[in-house]
Chain A
Amino acid sequence: MAAASTAAAGADTSFRFPREYSFPAFFTRQTNLTTHHAQLSKWSALVLAYARHHRIFRLGLSAAADSDLFYNRRLDRRLGMPDIRELLDFMKRDGRIEYASGGGGDGAGGGEGEVVFVYWRKPEEWARKIEKYVEETGQKGGVLTVYELGQGEGTRGTEIHGIDNEVLLKALNVLVRKGRAQIFGQDDSQGVKFF
């Protein structure tokens, strides 16, 4: 995953870090409760903006700790792993991240809890996007494969294109729960029917 995210970073215009990123004390856990809360909010906003910019859907913790997101090499300041975990717990409470079970499947993460989904859009928000897309393209009542939705030509140019497969499934499941869609088929060739 680290490779994928760096590739994306290279292709995009560079991310503009917020000013607190140049503030050395931003990388040390603050002892004052109020200050600490402000610090967590700022970090949370930074992680989401960063992930949105690079379209990062999952973050490998150990790789991220060494990336410029958490490691400001110019200042020689970094957010330590315990602080990153605390930040992720904070974001989890907001529904902004979720620990991926099974380490993300690509072996990069290693053990459990090493990869997180970063929800710069929550699954519910993606669900709304997908529903809108289906409606606008007149495919309501029709059947699409999951692959088509995420990688197919049809969604090219929309935000859905290139979405992480697991995030896509989470979004589709939101629609299933609402009775707006139905998923069927095997792991590799799942299809969705929209109502």
Chain B
Amino acid sequence: MSRKGVGIGAFDRSRLTSAHFASHGSNLRASNAEALSTQLSVFRSLLQQFAQTHAKDIRSDPSFRAQFARMCSVIGVDPLASSHTEGGSTGGGLWAQLLGESVNDFYFELAVRVVEVCGVTRGENGGLIGLAELTERVSKGRMEGSSEISEDDVRRAVETLKPLGGSYAVLQVGKKEYIRSVPRELSGDQRAVVEAVQVLGYVSVGMLRDNLGWETARCKTVIDDLMSEGMLWVDKQTKGEWEYWSPSFMVDTDGAVKEGE
């Protein structure tokens, strides 16, 4: 049987040990944090170095650029943020240094093109455009000799529009990504139809009824909703039921439609 800890002194002792533990713990935490922050700053400077040595690749190769951006975001560095170089001497952010001297530059310029294309095509697609299609259209409008643009670039450009409070957002429906340029959320049923349309490019009331197990009235309602928002086009020249087409199939399956015929 231990006699330890008997008497008033025991209270003192335990208070002492817990105080020791506490101070030791905070020491540890402090040194840990310090080590981490040094590591991080070392990492950042390395990253910057890396970015500078590979500036040409980052500029010209979209997949390399995407990889680099992904790496940055994993480390918690936002290459687009202009405040990231705390020294201030360089300013303007990594991308700014890499992708063009008149900053706010590459991605902002791209964002402007995104807004343009979304505006022009809103009439035909109701403000919902496939990321792939958008990327293609944005690329087409660019001058000869300017660097290639990837879907990742466009996604990033759309992100830069967020602070403007606009309605621009990236939307994942099923396997496909869309850019939405109208302040409208899709309902659950609408999402289901937009997803179903991806398979063949069109849906019909019968297809929805059979595949989603919905009542006919429900199918009709959702289709009518999407039609009234301009997100579906009706084809009445079918042999049977009317088919409702996704306008993004004016592009995506240009070849596929041909093959299907």
- Interfacial residues, chain A to chain B (CB-CB below 8 A): 19-20, 22-28, 30-32, 34-35, 37-39, 41-42, 74-78
- Considering only CB atoms, which chain A residue lies closest to B245 in the complex? A25
Q: Bound complex: CA of A24 vs CA of B123, how far in Å?
A: 18
- Considering only CB atoms, which chain A residue lies closest to B123 in the complex? A38
Question: Which 6 A-B residue pairings sit nearest by Cβ, starting from the closest?
Answer: A38-B123, A25-B233, A25-B235, A38-B124, A25-B245, A24-B235
B124: min CB distance to chain A, Å:
4
Chain A contacts of B250 at CB under 8 A?
Answer: 19-20, 22-23, 26
- Contacts A/B (CB < 8 Å), 19 sampled: A19-B251, A19-B254, A20-B250, A22-B258, A24-B202, A24-B243, A25-B235, A27-B237, A28-B233, A28-B234, A28-B236, A30-B234, A31-B227, A31-B234, A35-B230, A38-B124, A38-B230, A39-B124, A39-B233
A40: min CB distance to chain B, Å:
10
Contact across chains for B124 and A35 when beta carbons are under 8 A apart: yes
1/0 contact string of B107-131 vs chain A (CB within 8 Å): 0000000000000001110100000
Given contacts A28-B233, A34-B126, 13 further A-B contacts (CB under 8 A): A24-B237, A25-B235, A25-B243, A25-B245, A26-B233, A27-B235, A35-B123, A35-B126, A35-B230, A35-B233, A75-B257, A75-B261, A77-B237
Interface residues on B, range: 20 to 34
Q: Bound complex: CA of A24 vs CA of B124, how far in Å?
A: 14
Q: Bound complex: CA of A22 vs CA of B123, how far in Å?
A: 19
Chain A contacts of B234 at CB under 8 A?
Answer: 25, 28, 30-31
Contact across chains for A23 and B228 when beta carbons are under 8 A apart: no
- Whether, in the assembled complex, B249 has its beta carbon less than 8 Å from a beta carbon of chain A, the answer is yes
B47: min CB distance to chain A, Å:
42
Q: A19-B251, A23-B245, A75-B261 known; A28 and B126 CB under 8 Å?
A: no
Q: Bound complex: CA of A27 vs CA of B233, how far in Å?
A: 10
Q: Bound complex: CA of A39 vs CA of B251, how far in Å?
A: 15
Chain B contacts of A22 at CB under 8 A?
Answer: 250, 254, 257-258
Q: Bound complex: CA of A76 vs CA of B254, how far in Å?
A: 16
Residue in B230, B237, B251, B254 whose beta carbon sits within 8 Å of that of A34 in the complex: B230
- Considering only CB atoms, which chain B residue lies closest to A38 in the complex? B123
B241: min CB distance to chain A, Å:
13
Interface of B is mostly: mixed
B106: min CB distance to chain A, Å:
28
Contact across chains for B123 and A28 when beta carbons are under 8 A apart: no
Q: Bound complex: CA of A74 vs CA of B124, how far in Å?
A: 23
Which of A20, A23, A28, A30 has the most CB atoms of chain B within a 10 A radius of its CB? A23
Chain A contacts of B254 at CB under 8 A?
Answer: 19, 22
- Considering only CB atoms, which chain B residue lies closest to A23 in the complex? B250
Contact across chains for B251 and A30 when beta carbons are under 8 A apart: no
Contact across chains for A42 and B237 when beta carbons are under 8 A apart: no
Q: Bound complex: CA of A41 vs CA of B122, how far in Å?
A: 13
Which of A26, A31, A35, A42 has the most CB atoms of chain B within a 10 A radius of its CB? A35
Chain B contacts of A19 at CB under 8 A?
Answer: 250-251, 254
Q: Bound complex: CA of A147 vs CA of B245, how far in Å?
A: 50
Chain B contacts of A26 at CB under 8 A?
Answer: 233, 250
Chain A contacts of B233 at CB under 8 A?
Answer: 23, 25-26, 28, 30, 35, 39
B220: min CB distance to chain A, Å:
14
Q: Bound complex: CA of A126 vs CA of B236, how far in Å?
A: 40
Chain B contacts of A28 at CB under 8 A?
Answer: 233-237
Q: A22-B254, A23-B250, A32-B227 known; A76 and B123 CB under 8 Å?
A: no
Chain B contacts of A23 at CB under 8 A?
Answer: 233, 245, 247, 249-250, 257
Chain B contacts of A76 at CB under 8 A?
Answer: 237
B residues 208-243 in Cβ contact with A at 8 Å: 227-230, 233-238, 243
